[in-house]
Amino acid sequence: MALVHHDDTELMAATDCAIDGTLLDATGQPLTNTTLTWTLIGLQGLPVLQNDATITVVGDPTTGLVHIAVPNAKTATLECGRYLDALQLTIGDAVSPLWTGVIPRRRQPAARRAAVMTREPAASLHRVGA
């Protein structure tokens, strides 16, 4: 399976980060019996947010829709710079990365700190398979 690289997604300081996507297998069916983990990799190449995101299935599980949420308290402490994010899938003993990409972290004006940043990758971005 090829690792998918998503477009840059900007993260603002002290804002909730929300990522919505559709995770399907190579035949277009929703992934089942899986564990998903999201990690933000920092300026030194090491994880800076790991197990800090909540990943939930949205609505009917047969649609494959997922929501990744990182609370503003976690993003507030990040230094400005270019980060990488990675979504990883585990099925049984098999571990496979699904997507990665650059997330520039910028300062956020105080008046806009309550805003929510969202990204919904294209459905084809999340096809898992050969």
**How many structural domains comprise the chain?**
1
What pLDDT sits at residue 129?
42
pLDDT the model gives residue 39: 93
pTM of the model: 0.72
pLDDT given at position 119: 46
Domain containing residue 99: 4-128
pLDDT of 2 reads 64
| pLDDT for 1 | 55
The pLDDT of residue 63: 84
**pLDDT tens, per residue, the chain with 130 residues:** 567 777 777 777 788 888 877 787 778 888 778 888 999 999 899 999 988 888 888 888 778 888 888 898 888 888 888 899 988 988 888 888 888 888 888 765 554 444 444 444 443 334 344 3
- CA atoms of 130 and 118, how far apart (whole Å): 28
**Structure confidence at residue 124 (pLDDT):** 35
CATH number for the domain spanning 82: value is 2.60.40.10
DSSP 42-110: -TTSSEEEES-SEEEE-SSGGG-EEEEEE-HHHHTTPPSEEEEEEEEEEETTEEEEEEEEEEEEE---G
